[in-house]
Chain A
Amino acid sequence: MTSREPFAPLVEAHQQAVRAFLRRLCGDPAEADDLAQEVFIAAWTSLDSFRRDADFRLWLYGIAYRKFRASRRAAGRRRKREAFVAEIAETVATPDADARLDLQKAMMALSEPQRAAVALCLAAGVSHAAAAALLALPLGTVKAHVARGRATLLSMLGERP
């Protein structure tokens, strides 16, 4: 793409992937959508730095991960997310919502790098090598995060009756 092409089709094409990735990292859909909007604004602002031969979606994932890390450093986010999870637990009782909440809780039990690796490699289908480059981690570390994260998720989800 070039910097003169309209930006709206890019938002349309990639919003689902970016929002899904951030939902798995944050656990809070509203916060994830807010961050996703910031990701697209940052992408638009720094479009000149995008390498034309690179994968645009991976580039967006990279921005999203950095935005997420920055948001974690901001005070109050964690309390907000925990309040959101508690609110869902109290008000929602459908089987789908229960399953979603279980997955969300299991994801939140992972460390941030583990969660990011699982969200990228298992949920979004990104290769281990691409995830390693994106997260600035060694390939072996990413593979270990994915394997351990997957085991933790399955173990926690398996405990549900």
Chain B
Amino acid sequence: MTEDSRLASLWALDEPPAQDPAFVLATLDRLARRRFRIRVARLVPLFVATMAACWAITPLVDALLQSGGVAVVVAAAIGLALAAKYASDSARPELM
């Protein structure tokens, strides 16, 4: 046995398995938790901004509702919901 093949055979003893579902699952579990934290961190400022905007436009919405502009209010609400969904979509790859 040559010196290099001896080293190679020793390293082979310590080689992790080629397929290790337990390790992959544990890694994906940690990734999922990381992704959840990233999403929460991203949504908190959006939530605060949305609440501030709602508070700011409350007089305008009241005026619109009283003047029969319900369709405008509904359209604005849908627009806000779509914007929130777009902002929360991750640019990261799916885990599975």
Contacts and interface: CB of A to CB of B under 8 A. Distances in A.
Contacts, number: 100
B91 A8 contact: no
A45 B34 contact: yes
Interface stretch (A66-74, A96-104, A127-135): A96-104
A99 to B, nearest CB: 6
Give the secondary structure class of B's interface.
helix
Given A11-B28, A150-B7, A154-B3, A19 B93 contact: no
A8 B20 contact: no
Interface in A2-40: 2-8, 11-12, 15-16, 19-20, 23-24, 29, 33, 36-37, 40
Contacts of A40: 27, 31
A143 to B, nearest CB: 16
Given A37-B26, A122-B4, A150-B3, 16 more contacts: A4-B94, A6-B94, A7-B92, A7-B94, A8-B96, A15-B16, A20-B14, A20-B15, A23-B16, A24-B11, A40-B27, A41-B34, A47-B92, A103-B11, A123-B8, A157-B6
Interface of A: 2-8, 11-12, 15-16, 19-20, 23-24, 29, 33, 36-37, 40-41, 44-45, 47-48, 96, 99-100, 102-104, 122-123, 150, 153-154, 157
Interface of B: 3-4, 6-8, 10-11, 13-20, 23-24, 26-28, 30-31, 34, 38, 91-96
